[in-house]
């Protein structure tokens, strides 16, 4: 390589180095080459409402200006509304919005939020929409839920259940074996708009759990002669519902003072507390009447040979309660223990008839005639419609504002026999019909005294319309068709056709 070529290469290298240094200097010299600015675009429900330099300054202004919200909810911080979004960006745009203008735009469009918790209650079947409850503190919901449970089972029993200190059953008694909510309940942290209902008080939330949206108190003023049972029935409540609505009434035997104000608002719980009990109790066994015939006594003769006495059986069974109301179905544990044997009534009736001699003019006679007419046992004593042992799981009265116009008898098992309580004619034997589809398969009897009896939720029937049946005759089998929660018989008594002008009354009056 000659001398001139080497010199050219050296000069080119020097120029390259100098050019590189110069370019680097240009990039580092901000006066000659400007970078984009870091800013924040503010959106509300997807619509851009401003471009600002500092998101922290916007958050600080919201928190500073919203003192009314902080005082109302006793919180230290207020947050932007739902639908608010702020996105960091690099831009050459210098057309900023003022923090104050963006704040006022947000304030005019939507309500601000506070940090709290969203409770979601979903039904077990998924057929109803979820219920949402907003609370500031998880403990508010926890304490309200505990107060709700105590309303139905009492504070002491709830504590005993949690501590596993329930008294053991010696002779008779009961204990809770299991407790749960039918719905699924979840809770998560959330930003809650202040235009939504936010619960900050345990008592207010407890009332909502018990009464739903209909949580306004309705007062009844006690007058002379009122009892818990009579006040409840007159206001379409059960005694237990009245007790739940009034903290100062502890039992159905509680004495009411004249002038006392009683809350008769109908409870409408938004959640379902289910608890299951093991129960050992004594129940009365009704005696039956046996008729013995005496051919040596005339038909006018009737005498009590043996007085009937009800027996007492001790039964152990499991039962489920739904928001304080006993489920219609139960399951017995083991066989009943006889505490006092039942003694059936025995009535002796004569069958001998008078002989009437013939008259002289030949006008008849000569045959046996009952001068008192044809004496027939008309079943004046009503028979019990099921086998024994049985439990009355629900009495006659109002439940959740609807009259339960009969008694529910359970315990004798699916398919066990159902008997006619009195002689009568079958008005219907079918599904639904005059008593409605909720009754499922049912039999309705019309009796000679003008009463009607209803036997509902059967698994099958053994009679047909127009058929004549006798007291004690098997007419059907126990089941749980229609609107029934567990295997049982719904037994109702009416003066006149059921739901067609007839009026129901408490069937237990038949045996009182």
Domains of the chain: 37-110 (no CATH), 121-263 (no CATH), 273-511 (2.70.70.10)
CB atoms within 10 A of CB 356: 13
List, in order, residues 6 or more apart from 151 with CB less than 8 Å away.
206, 210, 244, 324
pLDDT of residue 10: 56
Comparing 255-264, 344-353, 405-414, the range with the smallest average pLDDT is 344-353
From residue 32, give the alpha-carbon distance in Å to each of 91, 94, 167, 202, 206.
18, 18, 89, 66, 69
Q: Token pair of 371, please?
A: 């001068």
Evaluate if residue 369 carries a pLDDT over 70: no
pLDDT of residue 355: 53
Q: In sequence order, what are the beta bridge partners of 392?
A: 409
Q: What's the pLDDT at 30?
A: 44
In this structure, of 22-36, 95-109, 353-367, 442-456, the range with the lowest mean pLDDT score is 353-367
Terminal Cα-to-Cα distance of the chain (whole angstroms): 136
Q: Is the CB of residue 328 less than 8 Å from the CB of residue 399?
A: no
Cβ neighbour number for residue 85 with a 10 Å cutoff: 12
Mean of the pLDDT values across residues 284-299? 84
Residues 157, 39: Cα–Cα separation, whole Å: 61
Residue 443 Rama label (left phi>0; alpha psi -120 to 50; beta): beta
Q: Are 70 and 15 in contact (CB under 8 A)?
A: no
Q: What percent of the chain has pLDDT over 90?
A: 62
pLDDT band at 8 (very low <50, low <70, confident <90, very high): low
Whether pLDDT at 34 is above 50: yes
Res. 401 pLDDT band, cuts 50 70 90: confident
User: How would you classify residue 232: left for phi > 0, otherwise alpha for psi between -120 and 50, otherwise beta?
Assistant: alpha
Burial class from Cβ neighbours inside 10 Å (0-12, 13-18, 19+) for residue 75 reads middle
Residue 267, token pair as written in the block: 């409870």
Which of these, 333, 312, 286, 387, lies nearest to 174 by C-alpha position?
A: 333
Mean pLDDT score across all residues of the chain = 86
User: What is the pLDDT averaged over residues 200-207?
Assistant: 92
For residue 386, name the pLDDT band (cuts at 50, 70, 90): very high
């Amino acid at each position: 390589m000659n001398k001139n070529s080497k010199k050219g290469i050296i000069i080119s290298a020097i120029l390259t180095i100098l050019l590189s240094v110069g370019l680097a200097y240009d990039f580092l010299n901000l006066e000659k080459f400007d970078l984009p600015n870091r800013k924040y675009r503010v959106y509300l429900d997807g619509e851009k409402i401003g471009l600002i330099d500092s998101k922290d300054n916007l958050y600080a202004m919201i928190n500073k200006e919203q003192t009314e919200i902080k005082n109302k909810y006793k919180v230290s911080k207020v947050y932007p509304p739902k639908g608010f979004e702020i996105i960091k960006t690099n831009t050459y745009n210098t057309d900023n919005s003022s923090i104050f203008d963006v704040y006022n735009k947000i304030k005019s469009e939507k309500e601000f939020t506070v940090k709290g918790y969203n409770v979601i209650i979903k039904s077990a079947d998924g057929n109803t929409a979820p219920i949402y409850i907003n609370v500031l503190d998880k403990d508010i919901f926890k304490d309200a839920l505990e107060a709700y449970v105590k309303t139905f089972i009492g504070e002491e029993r709830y504590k005993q259940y949690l501590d596993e200190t329930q008294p053991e059953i010696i002779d008779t008694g009961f204990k809770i074996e299991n407790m749960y909510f039918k719905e699924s309940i979840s809770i998560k942290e959330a930003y809650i708009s202040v235009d939504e209902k936010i619960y900050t008080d345990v008592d207010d939330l407890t009332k909502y759990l018990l009464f739903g949206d209909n949580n306004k108190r309705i007062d009844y003023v006690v007058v002379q002669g009122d009892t818990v049972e009579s006040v409840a029935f007159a206001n379409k409540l059960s005694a237990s519902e009245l007790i739940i609505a009034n903290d100062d009434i502890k039992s159905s035997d509680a004495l009411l003072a004249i002038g006392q104000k009683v809350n008769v608002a109908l409870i409408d719980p938004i959640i379902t507390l289910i608890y299951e009990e093991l129960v050992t109790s004594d129940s009365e066994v009704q005696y039956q009447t046996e008729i013995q015939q005496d051919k040596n006594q005339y038909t006018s003769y009737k005498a009590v040979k043996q007085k009937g006495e009800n027996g007492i059986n001790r039964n152990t069974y499991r039962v489920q309660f739904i928001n304080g109301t006993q489920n219609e179905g139960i399951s017995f544990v083991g066989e009943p223990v006889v505490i006092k044997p039942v003694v059936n009534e025995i009535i002796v009736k004569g069958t001998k008839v008078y002989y009437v001699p013939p008259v002289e003019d030949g006008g008849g006679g000569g045959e046996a005639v009952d001068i008192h007419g044809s004496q027939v046992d008309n079943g004046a004593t009503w028979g019990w419609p099921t086998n024994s042992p049985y439990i009355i799981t629900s009495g006659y009265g109002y439940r959740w504002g609807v009259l339960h116009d009969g008694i529910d008898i359970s315990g004798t098992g699916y398919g066990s026999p159902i008997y006619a309580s009195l002689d009568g004619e079958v008005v219907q034997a079918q599904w639904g019909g005059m008593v409605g589809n909720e009754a499922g398969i049912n039999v309705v009897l019309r009796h000679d005294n003008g009463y009607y009896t209803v036997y509902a939720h059967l698994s099958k029937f053994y009679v047909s319309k127009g058929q004549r049946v006798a007291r004690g005759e098997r007419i059907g089998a126990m089941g749980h068709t229609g609107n029934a929660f567990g295997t049982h018989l719904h037994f109702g008594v009416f003066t006149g056709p059921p739901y067609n002008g007839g009026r129901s009354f408490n069937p237990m009056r038949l045996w009182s």
